[in-house]
Every structure is written in structure tokens, then in C-alpha cells.
Structure 1
Amino acid sequence: MIDDIIKRELSETLSAQLSVKIQINRAERIQGGDINETFRLDTNEGKWFLKMNDARKYPDMFVREHDGLEELRHAAALFVPKPLCTGTAGHRAFLVTEFVEKGGAAPDFWESFAAGMARLHQHTKPFYGLQSANYIGSIKQYNTPYSTWPVFYAFNRLTPLAKMAYDRHRMDKDMLKQLESLCRRLPELFPDEPPALLHGDLWSGNFLVGANGKACIFDPAVYYGHREMDLAMTRLFGGFDTRFYYTYQAIRPLESGWQQRIGLCQLYPLLVHLNLFGGSYYNDVKEILAVTN
């Protein structure tokens, strides 16, 4: 349960930001991730979803997540929980969003989900990146804008995480050199495409079936990048039906050779997991580097 002091501070902050008196009647803990505590709040204004973590470790994480949710909502391609407010209570940062009730999947769930992703990826910018850095998991995600995807992917994604893994003794020098060599070859490996709005961390744990039977996406690591990144991420840990891929391909066909680029796109989330968890992710990264070099 949330202690009374934090509950009171939350109520005061919510009331001030939403310009209506908010009373939290009940806070029920629900399953969260590795770094966040999550709750369902029953308030006088309805049910809301609360995430909390250590504000000293992650001072701007929820601000960036709030911005990412707003970016996805603005695209109006898929259902995204509305972020209500973010702030701090004592040493804890929090994010409050609308609470999404779970339901059963509609018969066309996967086709509808894929069509929504295709619409999302149609939203573009003149650059790859985002106005500010954000997070993927607990790792800072750099989004310095670049005009080409290979340069963005090398300097904002692969190189920083490879150096982090090397400094943490989770990557050896030979592997680091292989990755640097791969970065130099990225322009010849990726086809030219306009920047696409990406969820950025699209695995089966970051969507649910809403009460309307449609997909709801959340916990984003938003940026404008190569759309194959989102699709490769969906394949990394499973959980997506083949109808999702067939429908997406029918609506927005991928450039030829996309099958050979799946591992290349998965290299980034695998480096994230290598830095966070070590273990078997070392071999996954090593295997992709061996195939792509």
C-alpha cells in the first residue's frame, strides 16, 4: 500500500495539476516492472493507473514517458493511455495515467493492431531522433537528431551501449571492434526510408487487449527512426501472431532484404539487455555480430 504521507502529497499534486479536488480512496498494488511500483488508484474521479520509482535515480524518467505517450496519442493511430500528470512525492517520482480495463481480443485484433502500427509509422519528421533524450528500461536513450538513419543508429544507439557494456566488462575488445566495424557499414545495409514515429520498445509486455477488444500500447521509448526497429522488436521475445506481420506487409510493404536486417535491428535491444542483465545476451550479441560482419 501507499503510505498516508505519499497519498496526501499525491492527492494535493493531482488536485493542483488537474484543477479539481482529487481524493484517493484506495490504492491497489498491481504487477510492475523491474524498477517501478505500480498501483490502481480508486479516486473520486474514477480509476487511474500510478507508476512510482526513485526520483533520485531517475529524476526525469516519467516526464519523458509522459511526453512519449503524448507523442503517440497525437498520432491517433492506436489506443494509448492518456497521461494525466507527473511529479514527485518525497523521494519518489510518479506518473498517473488513465486506467485501461482489460478485455478479450476481437476477431480482427491482430489485423487491427498491424493497421494501427502502419498508421503510426506514417508519422514523420525531417530528422531521425527526438527533441530530448528519454529512457529504454532504466537506460538513458540518446536522441540527438541526425539527417540519416545509419549515423543516428551508430552514434545514438549502438556505440554508446557497446562502450557501456565494455566498461562493465560485459563485452570484450574484439566484440567492440566488430561492432565499430559494423557501424561503418550501416549505410550499405539499411535502405533509405523517411523517419517513422516508433513506439521504441514494442514487445508483448508493452501492449494489452483493451475492453473494446483492440490493442492498447504503453511504456514507450519513443523516437523517430527506421520502422523496421519496431517490427524487429516484436519478434525478439515472441507473443505476436503471424497475422500481425502479414497485415502490416500488405499495408506498408518493407523494403527487400528486411529478413536479413532483423538481427541488425535487434542488436540495440539486445545491447540494452546485455547491459542490464548480462548472461546469455552476450551470446546473442556475438551471434548477430558474426553474421553481419
Structure 2
Amino acid sequence: MIDEILLSRIGAALSDELKVKILINQAEKIHGGDINETYRIQTNEGYFFLKLNDAIRFPDMFAAEYAGLTTLGATQTIAVPRPVCYGAVQQQAFLVTTFVEKGSAMRDFWEDFAAMLAKLHQQRHPHFGYDSPNYIGTLRQYNTPYSSWPVFYAFNRLMPLTRMAYDQHIIEKVMVHQMEKLCRQLPEIFPQEPPALLHGDLWSGNFMVGSNGRACIYDPAVYYGHREMDMAMTRLFGGFDTKFYYAYQAVHPLAPGWQQRIGICQLYPLLVHMLLFGGSYYNSIREILQQH
């Protein structure tokens, strides 16, 4: 059950944003991942999706997610839930978005998904990074702008999490040295590309088939980066059809050798998962590092 005071404040925030009196009739708890409590809320203006989290531990998480969804939605390239409002009541933070109804995949779902993602990746920016830090899972994601992708990837992604893992005694000094060595090699490994707008955490659990039969993506960790990061993330836990990759290549071809760089791009999400969920990802990280 959600506290009545919290529900009242959420209703007031919705009313302010939508410029119509919102009455919340019901809040039904639904499965929505490991990090947040999630609900479908029924109102006099239809259904909305509600996330709750700890406002003390993650004071700006939902502000960052609101900004990321807004950035993605403004491109009009691929569907995302529209963020409506966010805030906090005492120790509970909340984010409300539109509720996306599940549908059946259209016949050319994967080809359409790939084409929309390619259009998203064609959104450019002068620098790699983002306006502010945000989150991937519950980990802070640093987005200090750099003109060089290898420098950005080393300083904002790989080395901060490597140091965190070492400080928490998850990895040993030799792995830190291996990561430092790889970071020095990154300028020779990655082909130069302009910064592309990324979802940032594009695994199979962060998209669904919407009511129109097309892909809808959510739970972003948005930044402008190398687009091979999104593509490598789709390969990490499976769930993406082979048609998706052929279609993407036809619309917005990746540089030769991209498949050989998948492991290096996966180092970041693997570090994230090792820090969040334990050492079972250690061997995968070690294997990638030993290849370089």
C-alpha cells in the first residue's frame, strides 16, 4: 500500500502538470525491476506509471531520469514513456510517466526498431557527455564533456568504476593495471565518430512492444557517446533478433571491426553489474582485459 499522503502529493503534482484536477482511484503494484517500486495508477484521466525510490540515498535519480526521457522524446525518433512529473515526499522520491500498454510485435518489428535506433544515433552533439551526471542502475554516471571518445570512456566510465571496485576489494591491483593499460590503447582501438545520442543501458529488459506493435524504450542512462556502446549492450544479455543488426547496418553502418570491439564496449556495463550484483561478472571482465 502507498501512503495516502504520498498519493495525495502525487495527485497534486499531476494536477499541476496537466492543468486538470487528477484523482487517483487505485495504485496497483506491478513488476518493474530491481531498483524501484513500480505501480500502475488509475486516475480520472486514465492510467499512469509510478516509480518510487529512496529520496535520501538517491536524491536526484528521478530528476535525471526525467531529463533523459525528455531528451530522448524530443528527438521524435523512437518511442519512450512521456515523463509527467517527479518529486519527493519526506523520504520517498517519485516519478510519474505515461503508462505504455503492451501490444503484439508488428511483422517487421526488429527492422523498424533498428531503423528508429539508427535515427536516434544520428542526433549529434559537439562533445561526448551530457548536461549533468545521471545514473546507470543505482551507480552515479559521470558525463564530464570531452572532445575525445577514448578520453571520455577512460575518465568517465572505465577508471571510476575500476577504482570503486578496487576500493571495495572486488578486484585486485593487477586488474587495475590491466585496465589502465587498455585505456592507453583506446585511441588506437576506436575509430573516430561524432558523439551520438545513446540510450545508455539498452538491454532486452529496457524495451517493450507498445500497443502499436513498435518498440518503446525506457530506463535510460542517456549521454552522447560512441554508438557502438548501445550496440554492444544489446549483445550482452541476449534478447535481440539477428534481423535487428542486419537492419541497423543497412541504415547506419558501423565502422569495420565493430564486432571485435564489442567486448571493450561491454566492459562498462560489466563493471556496473559486478559492483551492483556481485563478483560473478569478474571473470568476463578478466577475459576481455587479457585479450588486450
Using structure 1 for the length normalisation, give the TM-score.
0.98
Deviation (angstroms), 1:32: 2.0
SS for the counterpart of 1:77 is coil
Distance in 2 between the 1:157 and 1:131 partners?
A: 16
Residues 104-137 of structure 1 show CA distances to partners (whole Å, capped at 9, x for unaligned) of: 0000000000000100000010000001000000
Structure 1 runs of 4+ aligned residues shifted over 3 Å read none
Q: Which amino acid aligns with 2:154?
A: A
Deviation (angstroms), 1:223: 0.1
Deviation (angstroms), 1:21: 1.3
SS for the counterpart of 1:25 is strand
Corresponding residue for 1:220? 220
SS for the counterpart of 1:95 is strand
Corresponding residue for 1:183? 183
Corresponding residue for 2:49? 49
Distance in 1 between the 2:257 and 2:231 partners?
A: 14
Q: State yes or no: 1:97 paired with 2:97.
A: yes
Structure 1: which 5+ residue stretches go unaligned?
none
- Superposed, 1:1-293 pairs within 5 Å as 1-291=1-291, 293=292
Distance in 2 between the 1:88 and 1:13 partners?
A: 10
Distance in 1 between the 2:45 and 2:155 partners?
A: 45
Residues 31-73 of structure 1 show CA distances to partners (whole Å, capped at 9, x for unaligned) of: 0222200000100111000001000000000000000001101
Deviation (angstroms), 1:22: 1.1
SS for the counterpart of 1:146 is coil
SS for the counterpart of 1:145 is coil
Deviation (angstroms), 1:90: 2.1
SS for the counterpart of 1:32 is coil
Q: Which amino acid aligns with 1:135?
A: Y
Deviation (angstroms), 1:16: 2.7
SS for the counterpart of 1:76 is coil
Deviation (angstroms), 1:75: 1.0
Distance in 2 between the 1:229 and 1:35 partners?
A: 22
Distance in 2 between the 1:92 and 1:151 partners?
A: 37
Residues 195-254 of structure 1 show CA distances to partners (whole Å, capped at 9, x for unaligned) of: 000000000100000010000000000000000000000000000000000000111111
SS for the counterpart of 2:279 is coil
Deviation (angstroms), 1:83: 0.4
Structure 1 window deviating more from structure 2 (89-98 vs 261-270): it is 89-98
**What is the root-mean-square deviation of aligned Cα atoms in Å?**
0.8
Deviation (angstroms), 1:12: 2.0
Deviation (angstroms), 1:80: 0.9
Distance in 1 between the 2:8 and 2:108 partners?
A: 44
Q: Which amino acid aligns with 1:132?
A: S
SS for the counterpart of 1:86 is strand
Distance in 2 between the 1:47 and 1:10 partners?
A: 13
Deviation (angstroms), 1:271: 0.4
Distance in 2 between the 1:13 and 1:119 partners?
A: 33
SS for the counterpart of 1:236 is coil
Structure 2: which 5+ residue stretches go unaligned?
none
Q: Which amino acid aligns with 2:181?
A: S
